Chain A
Amino acid sequence: MNYQLNWSILWSGQTGGWLLNGLLTTLEISSLAWLLALTLGNVAGALRTAPIPPFRWLASAYVEFFRNVPLLVWMFFWYFGMPPLLPQALQDWLLDHGAEFWAGVCALGVYHGARFSEVIRSGIQSIPKTQFEAAHSTGLTVWQTYRLIIVPIALRLIIPPATNETLNLIKNSSVALTIGVAELTFQTRQIETYTAKAFEALAAGTVVYLVLCLAISTLMAVVERRVAIPGMIAQGNASEF
């Protein structure tokens, strides 16, 4: 190849700072969106298995509507479509305080919330019916059964697919660059603009994403082992301890 690799562009000048800023923005937008997604997902996931039909319909409507429209469209919706519906004063304030960031959080959070809810629903539905019946027979209400028995077990069961969703959420946060959020992918493009070194910039971005996602999956694996209920999902690994 007659392309001359020049890795020093990654630490000379401002590029290192840009990458760091991009990483921080990616972490900020992803963690806020993750909290939102987990909250929405938990509620919708539990409601989808609730014995009260209107709750199930409502939750199904949310899930199907939000997960079946592309994330890019949601980004544009929250950024371009939402603000005009707000009062003028709030709109101006938002625009001066990073409207694109909050639009990105909403888009990612609500979209991934719909996907999380399916993960949680499958966790709940994998719990034997006898657990519900046992809880019921000890005198717990439906709300108590969910809060004290079902959801705590389900959350442990779904750690592997939830890790998957989390990693997806982090990588999907790069879509926010379409509405001008200066996250990691945005910054790698920025470096390319300033230095005209596309391969190095993309390689740096790739490595940062990879390290970040590997760290999270390792962490989640530890959590999975720590919170495992003996005799349930960690059965196969029990001999290791």
Chain B
Amino acid sequence: MKRRFCFWLIVLLCISIADLSRAETTLEKIDKSGTLIIGTRTGSPPFAYVNKNNEWVGFSIDLVEKAILPVLNKKLNKQIKLEKKESAPQTRIPLLQSNAVDLIAETMTDTQSRRDNVDFSLTFFVTGAQFLVKKGGAIKGIQTIAGKRIAAQQGSTNAKIIRERVPSAKLLEFPDQPAAFQALAQGQVQAYTNDGIQLAGLKAKAPKPDDWAGVGEFFSYEPYGIAMRKNDSDFRQAVNVGLMDALASNLYFEIYDKWFGPKGEVPYPLLPETKRFLQMQVVPK
């Protein structure tokens, strides 16, 4: 009897602790701990990856550090530390919902179904799905993949689109980019599909970049956003103000140039219409 009572007491305690941590907003949580915890990638150059010097860096991380963190510092009136945790397509939403991280800053596409579970910031990058093939390969775009073996990253929106639009393609899904690229390099698959910018990053990092070609028109629209817990508008406002300030000043484009400019990690010129779209998201002060 006593043992059973103890058991239920512990269960009750666990539940109440879980409930208590839920009660506070993200801003309160950051204020209390003095730390902003972000979920990000280790292998998605140049958005978030571990570089040659073993530093965890990238475009998405820079945006958080240089654009969003200052807003939080000002709002909470103290120096907020940044802590990075690894996230993956399968873990990022649970990480947010379990309070393990405060925001997801990597290469997460904003979609309607994801908005059922998390909130997104403004769009901070725009790309679309393409294919990476061996130079001179037969695949030229989504029209030419019927019956072919195509690799995709599991948990990505691209795999979903291929399954719906070209069901005859033999889709092989790998949990991460290195395995998918290995399969392409070995000929296990004839093309690897992912967001164009990620393929450009992969190509730039490959031992012989000239052996590979990114082909095809964008067959999907992939607006990247920063994901946050649902229904926490004060925190979302802080994140959006950070992004808007960066877009309105020159900060965003400086960071863009650092990673995607001619001398950046992955040269990827900003199209004029994309630039216009990004800037038009900024609302007046």
Which A residues form the contact surface with B (CB < 8 A)?
Answer: 1-3, 76, 79-80, 83-84, 95-96, 99-100, 177-180, 182, 186, 189-190, 192-199
The residues of B that contact A76 with a CB separation of less than 8 Å are 179, 182
> A194 vs B93: C-alpha distance in the bound complex, in angstroms?
13
> A196 vs B90: C-alpha distance in the bound complex, in angstroms?
9
Stretch among B72-80, B109-117, B264-272 lining the A interface: B109-117
B120 → chain A closest CB, angstroms? 12
The residues of A that contact B188 with a CB separation of less than 8 Å are 79-80, 83, 95, 99-100
Identity of the chain A residue whose Cβ is nearest the Cβ of B231 in the assembled complex: A2
The residues of B that contact A194 with a CB separation of less than 8 Å are 113, 160
Contact in complex: A190, B154 (CB < 8 Å) = yes
The residues of A that contact B154 with a CB separation of less than 8 Å are 177, 186, 189-190, 193
Q: Is B186 an interface residue (CB 8 A)?
A: yes
> A1 vs B114: C-alpha distance in the bound complex, in angstroms?
18
Contact in complex: A179, B155 (CB < 8 Å) = no
Stretch among B32-40, B121-129, B168-176, B241-249 lining the A interface: B168-176
> A189 vs B173: C-alpha distance in the bound complex, in angstroms?
11
The prevalent SS among residues of B at the interface is mixed
Identity of the chain B residue whose Cβ is nearest the Cβ of A91 in the assembled complex: B187
A2-B231, A180-B172 given as contacts; is B94 within 8 A of A198 (CB)?
A: yes
Q: Is B149 an interface residue (CB 8 A)?
A: yes
Contact in complex: B179, A178 (CB < 8 Å) = yes
Residue pairs across A and B with Cβ atoms less than 8 A apart, 17 shown, are: A1-B22, A76-B179, A80-B186, A84-B186, A95-B187, A178-B174, A178-B175, A178-B179, A179-B174, A179-B179, A180-B173, A186-B154, A186-B173, A193-B89, A196-B93, A198-B91, A199-B94
A48 → chain B closest CB, angstroms? 35
B19 → chain A closest CB, angstroms? 8
Q: Please pick, from A80, A180, A189, the residue contacting B90 in the complex, using a CB distance under 8 A.
A: A189
Identity of the chain A residue whose Cβ is nearest the Cβ of B89 in the assembled complex: A193
> A64 vs B186: C-alpha distance in the bound complex, in angstroms?
29
A180-B172, A196-B113 given as contacts; is B179 within 8 A of A1 (CB)?
A: no
The residues of A that contact B175 with a CB separation of less than 8 Å are 177-178, 189
> A80 vs B160: C-alpha distance in the bound complex, in angstroms?
25
* Chain B positions 92 through 110: 1 when the CB is less than 8 Å from some CB of chain A, otherwise 0: 0110010000000000000
> A99 vs B188: C-alpha distance in the bound complex, in angstroms?
8
> A219 vs B276: C-alpha distance in the bound complex, in angstroms?
66
The residues of B that contact A179 with a CB separation of less than 8 Å are 174, 179
Q: Is B13 an interface residue (CB 8 A)?
A: no
> A194 vs B114: C-alpha distance in the bound complex, in angstroms?
9
On chain B, the number of residues with a Cβ less than 8 Å from chain A's Cβ atoms is 35
A3-B97, A80-B182 given as contacts; is B116 within 8 A of A196 (CB)?
A: yes
A-B contact count (CB 8 A): 75
The residues of A that contact B22 with a CB separation of less than 8 Å are 1-2
Q: Is B135 an interface residue (CB 8 A)?
A: no
Contact in complex: A189, B155 (CB < 8 Å) = yes
Identity of the chain B residue whose Cβ is nearest the Cβ of A1 in the assembled complex: B22
The residues of A that contact B187 with a CB separation of less than 8 Å are 95
> A3 vs B172: C-alpha distance in the bound complex, in angstroms?
32
Residue in B114, B172, B230, B231 whose Cβ sees the most chain A Cβ within 10 Å: B172
The residues of B that contact A84 with a CB separation of less than 8 Å are 186
B112 → chain A closest CB, angstroms? 10
Q: Is B204 an interface residue (CB 8 A)?
A: no
Identity of the chain A residue whose Cβ is nearest the Cβ of B171 in the assembled complex: A180
Q: Scan residues 121-174 of chain B and give those whose CB is less than 8 A from a CB of chain A.
A: 149, 151, 154-156, 159-160, 170, 172-174
A123 → chain B closest CB, angstroms? 37
The residues of B that contact A197 with a CB separation of less than 8 Å are 117
The residues of B that contact A196 with a CB separation of less than 8 Å are 93, 113-114, 116-118
B94 → chain A closest CB, angstroms? 5
Identity of the chain B residue whose Cβ is nearest the Cβ of A14 in the assembled complex: B163
A2-B231, A100-B172 given as contacts; is B113 within 8 A of A198 (CB)?
A: no
Identity of the chain A residue whose Cβ is nearest the Cβ of B182 in the assembled complex: A80
A26 → chain B closest CB, angstroms? 16
Contact in complex: B183, A80 (CB < 8 Å) = yes
The residues of A that contact B94 with a CB separation of less than 8 Å are 198-199
> A83 vs B149: C-alpha distance in the bound complex, in angstroms?
16
> A179 vs B22: C-alpha distance in the bound complex, in angstroms?
38
Q: Is B82 an interface residue (CB 8 A)?
A: no
B24 → chain A closest CB, angstroms? 12
B54 → chain A closest CB, angstroms? 23
B28 → chain A closest CB, angstroms? 14
Q: Please pick, from B118, B155, B170, the residue contacting A192 in the complex, using a CB distance under 8 A.
A: B155
Q: Is B18 an interface residue (CB 8 A)?
A: yes
Q: Is B229 an interface residue (CB 8 A)?
A: yes
> A164 vs B143: C-alpha distance in the bound complex, in angstroms?
49
> A174 vs B97: C-alpha distance in the bound complex, in angstroms?
25
